[in-house]
Amino acid sequence: MRLTTKGRYAVTAMLDLAIHAGNGPVSLADISERQGISLSYLEQLFAKLRRNELVRSVRGPGGGYQLNREQQDIDVAQVIDAVNESVDATGCGHTGNCQDGNICLTHHLWCDLSSQIHEFLSQISLADLMARKDVRSVAERQDRGHNASFEESLISAKVTA
């Protein structure tokens, strides 16, 4: 059973966006810096999230992305589904060709587990994650690091000017 990097990064980026939603549109560059996800990868993910109407883009100075729904109305499973990802516990990708082109003895067990995981993730909203003390603590640490890097770049720019 595995959730690939695409699904993990999409959930991480959406949670970052939700956490910083009160400050207006959030740039992908800021998410990239805080989360250590490449900007080009985030652009690909957000194109899919936008097509699935989970986010909307805001153009112009101070632009970026905003959630397209309330935080409590976006669940983790929707984010994973939006980027064409799935949590699949089968070895055959739900195709049923597990054993020489046929269904294996445990195929339905792993399909049921995959369904249970999807159901579990559909019960967890971005708001639920944001309410967790451990998530808030990590976000605060990342913001301190992000702000320190920003201040260092301003100081460096003044010195070279």
Write out the E strands in 8-159: 55-58, 64-67
pLDDT tens sequence across 115-148: 999 999 999 999 999 999 999 999 999 998 876 6
Q: Give me the amino acid identity at 86.
A: S
pLDDT tier for residue 154 given thresholds of 50, 70 and 90: very low
Instruction: Please compute the mean of the pLDDT values over residues 94-99 and round it to a whole number.
Output: 85
- Per-residue pLDDT at 20 exceeds 50: yes
pLDDT tens sequence across 37-75: 999 999 999 999 999 999 999 998 888 999 999 999 999
Q: Which contacts (CB < 8 Å, 24+ apart) does range 45-54 have?
A: 45/6, 45/9, 45/10, 45/13, 45/83, 46/13, 48/10, 48/82, 48/83, 48/84, 49/10, 49/14, 49/79, 49/82, 49/83, 51/82, 52/78, 52/81, 52/82, 54/14, 54/78, 54/79, 54/82
CATH class of 5-160: mainly alpha
Query: Domain limits of the chain?
Result: 5-160
pTM assigned to the model? 0.84
CA–CA distance, 18 with 26 (Å, rounded to integer): 9
DSSP letter at 64? E
pLDDT tens sequence across 37-47: 999 999 999 99
